[in-house]
Structure 1
Amino acid sequence: MPEEPKDTQAPSEPVETGNPHLKGKKPRQKRRVGLWTYLISIIIALGVGIGGTYFVLGRAVTQQISSMQQTSAAMKKIQSVYSTISDNYYKPVNANKLANGAINGMVNSLGDKFSEYMDKSETESLNDTIDSSFSGIGAQVQKSGNYIQIISPIAGTPAKKAGLKPKDVIKKVNGKSIAGKTLTQAVNLMRGKVGTTVKLEVERAGKTFTVTLKRAKIPVTTVNYKMVGGKKKIGYVTVTTFSTNTAKEFKTALKALDKKGAKKLIIDMRGNPGGLMTAALKMASMFLKDGKTIMQVQTRGSQAEKYVAGKKYDGGYKVTTPTTVLIDGGSASAAEIFSAALHQSAGVKLIGSQSYGKGTVQTVSTFSDKTEMKITVAKWLTPNGTWINKKGLTPTIKASEPSYASLTALSKTSDLKAGKVNDNVKTLQQYLKALGYFKGSANGYFGSSTTSAIKAYQKHAKLTANGQMDKKTLAKIEVQLAQKISDNDNAYNTALKLAEK
């Protein structure tokens, strides 16, 4: 769900997905996508709108159907199937179980990975995510075929520290396949008490590896900032997701940087899986002149509705400081709304790589039994009317991360022994090559050249130089590689040079 689980993510992990929450009144019969609508959002209601008519879940499906004075041929067929099963199945059936099965079937028939029916426990998990109050691995995820795909790991979380990347596919959790499970069911398997561990089998670029993560409390703060560039006084702001307090945190960060004398700004939206559309509207409006288009939303059979900058979003607070925005493949939904608005309506340059490309809007309806249904209700378009779904935003200046930044994580030291031939050895060789210790070809064979490279590294790191790959050595290598990736952040460095001019 933008794990979509706060899907986005899902953070997945919006659930852990990044699905933000709005409690409001029961919607009018004519559904309208307005200020309250989220990209990955929730509308609290007593019933679900179908063709302009609402029905309320009762204790049994029979009560629902009998209360409907006019039913379509499809609904009559559903009633017939329900009655046949209820009256003739060889053993008693649970009415709620039949109802949930019918709803799940209808939602799944849409073939939309962002539409989902959630039971009570799944709903509670989603709501925790909305308030960023969950514990887990910290990755925004979505459905991808039979499995779960990472949209983006959240900065500072176990998923990020373990090196998980956007588009990684999670195939197993604690040795059990998640094929066929719903997004929320898979996310619930990854969640758990802080400090406990979870083992994931992950596929990246056709290769499979395992990684063990220690669950942690996912950070509540979604905005961080600091001054960079020395005397150039450049304000650097990172936004990890769009949650309930993000717009407020963002405004606080901008005001603080202004007081410190920031002459230019770099807004980092990389790895941001999205979340609340309202947060994106408020934040983008701060950089746009009143009346400028932030985004457009188009529901079925209607003209696109424009959302324009103004006091109702930004409260009159405007930012005129020259700004640059960073994006990458993990920038999705609300992050793309914000970036597209600044680029097309304020002439702000985008630096980095192609964004994710999530161009749909979801709403979530809550039933009286505390279950919820999330469905896609509209497209969102950039200010100039472009639909970026499955395409993403193209940066003004392309600046990709180094090739070694996409290397898979290593967790099985048992594969990393002299004489072994496997993909984990090849990855280790690529680690060592990136750090300047391995000079040969990364062929996956743990021979004398690999042993020598490990010894050289261990000597430099002041470890026992025996040429054997143990957990302590691997941990040191991973930390050093992560630092090198950070030091060679091409997108950030490009933005910094641009801002320093």
Structure 2
Amino acid sequence: MNKKQSKTVKRSTLVWSILVALVVGGALAYGVAYFQTRTLVSQAQTTTASMQKIQAVYETIEGNYYKSVSAKKVTNGAIKGMISSLDDPFSEYMDKTEASSLNDQISSSFSGIGAEVQKSDQYIKIISPIKGTPAKKVGLQPGDLITAVNGKSLAGRSVTDAVKLMRGKIGTKVTLTIKRAGKSFKQTLTRAKIPVSTVNSKVINKKIGYIQITSVSERTAAELKKALKRLDKKGVTSYVLDVRDNPGGLMDQALKMSSMFLKNGKIIMRVQTKNGQQQVYKAGKKYDGGYKVTKPVAVLMNGGSASAAEIFAGALHQSADAPLIGTQSYGKGTVQTVSDFKDKSEMKITIAKWLTPNGDWINKKGLTPTYKADYPKYAYLQLINTKKTYKNGDVSSEIKTLQKELKALGYFNGKVNGYFGSSTENAVQAYQKKENLKVTGTANEKTVLSIETKVQSKVAKNDNALKKAESILDK
């Protein structure tokens, strides 16, 4: 599994929210911000010779290269080369499209029709239209099949491809071909800004509030507070906070989220600039508005928990004694700021380290769980290519995955070797018969998707980390 890279702050103007507005003690805050400015000025003065060299190379290419060159392409190449030399995966130059994508993630919104969808046989099925969005307003319903977008068939396309076709600029039109109750019709929608919730909550085990935080975006702290209050009204006695596979996001939101669970004056995190100066961030009303959670809490994390998610988990663990349950977190211990250019491209640069309340730098190490627990191994199986049909005599790594999935579901007892033999064929037939699918003994798209759905359902029922959290909070 590839580890997710996370975004920590939004724009160049938000460097003040990192180093000034969120700092306790104005004088020290001013010193940190001032230091940043003086460093940049000093660098500009001492790199004149280097800049002259870069200019000379540019002029040589422009004047002597044997064919026409794009000034924009050469400039972008130079910028990317300089940033690449930092050997920092979190410092990067983003063109207009990439920058727009980053900002969508940060704001937790995008432009589209506003419907949760999933793959269904050859097409895309609407799970739920989101309240207040174009999809809801025109009357799209759960179970509707989207068979085409602007006349382009979705047959065999992935959900990702379909979503790309449905998204676009705010105010533009998109025409969907919908199949409902055996009848097809076309529906034209006007794309709009679609907010995405980053916090989901429910009551589990009759008295525990379960809160999943999927990312840390502009509205996450407010969404978290709303979820906590809603669950509190339902009489929950404790909370499970799930930041597994949360890639992180905005530092100011992590501070607000953490402060809700910490006593005033408790350390949330530390930020350390390259000269070693540290700024300490402490819980208080300026972050949480006076709202505090006093009920027991447990935090779930894994290798996909990074950046602001780790700030949150680390603060609750070290400053509020909340147990961490799961596996080692990602280990992203740096802070970034983003600068805008006139052409709407952006440059993201690492400006500091962040440390846990105890002063630990978890970069490339991660937070260590108090209790180690994880999903079963079959939860991490790769998805199978559904554009192929697998049959007796075939050999491939995807058949090996299919065998593992069938084994997890109790249908396959043979050797997991990637060979589609009689034992695999029998297992597929048994599954198809049980699930009322056409019994062919071959694994086509419909059969594979059905198997993967069943595996996902079993994963949810065998969430060992959540079970551990429940057992701790039940005491």
| TM class by smaller structure | 0.7 to 0.9
Structure 2 unmatched ranges of 5 or more: 24-35, 120-148, 168-193
Kindly provide the CA deviation profile for residues 239-296 of structure 1, in whole angstroms up to 9, marking residues without a partner as x: 0000010000001111111111111111111111100111100000111111111011
Deviation at 1:92, TM superposition (A): 5.3
Determine which of 240, 258, 269 is the counterpart of 1:284: 258
**Inter-partner Cα distance in structure 1 for 2:405 and 2:226:** 40
1:33 aligns with 2:19: yes
Aligned counterpart, 1:428:
402
Determine which of 362, 377, 380 is the counterpart of 1:406: 380
**Inter-partner Cα distance in structure 1 for 2:445 and 2:38:** 56
Kindly provide the CA deviation profile for residues 208-253 of structure 1, in whole angstroms up to 9, marking residues without a partner as x: xxx87444378700001111112xx111111000001000000111
Aligned counterpart, 1:461:
435
Aligned counterpart, 2:332:
358
Determine which of 383, 391, 407 is the counterpart of 1:417: 391
Structure 1 unmatched ranges of 5 or more: 9-17, 38-47, 56-67, 137-155, 160-191, 201-210
TM-score, normalized by length of structure 1?
0.73
**Inter-partner Cα distance in structure 2 for 1:3 and 1:134:** 24
1:21 aligns with 2:10: yes
Give the letter for the 1:113 counterpart: P
Give the letter for the 1:372 counterpart: E
Higher helix share: 2
How many equivalent residue pairs?
400
Map 1:5-404 to 2 at 5 A: 7-8=5-6, 21-22=10-11, 24=13, 33-35=19-21, 51-53=39-41, 71-91=47-67, 93-134=69-110, 213-216=160-163, 220-230=196-206, 233-404=207-378
The SS at the match of 2:19 is coil
TM-score, normalized by length of structure 2?
0.76
Give the letter for the 1:256 counterpart: R
**Inter-partner Cα distance in structure 2 for 1:78 and 1:220:** 43
Give the letter for the 2:19 counterpart: V
| Percent identical residues | 54
- Structure showing greater Rg: 2
**Inter-partner Cα distance in structure 1 for 2:242 and 2:392:** 42
Aligned counterpart, 2:188:
none
CA contact (8 A) 1:158 1:213 kept: no
**Inter-partner Cα distance in structure 1 for 2:51 and 2:356:** 38
Query: Bigger CA drift: 87-96 or 352-361?
Result: 87-96
Deviation at 1:36, TM superposition (A): 6.4
CA contact (8 A) 1:363 1:375 kept: yes
Give the letter for the 1:114 counterpart: F
- Aligned alpha-carbon RMSD (Å): 3.2
The 1:457/1:88 distance shift into structure 2, 3 A limit, reads closer
The 1:3/1:367 distance shift into structure 2, 3 A limit, reads farther
**Inter-partner Cα distance in structure 2 for 1:294 and 1:20:** 17
The SS at the match of 1:414 is coil
Give the letter for the 1:75 counterpart: M
Structure having greater relative contact order (Cα 8 Å, sep ≥ 6): 1
Deviation at 1:426, TM superposition (A): 1.3
Give the letter for the 2:40 counterpart: G
**Inter-partner Cα distance in structure 1 for 2:161 and 2:362:** 36
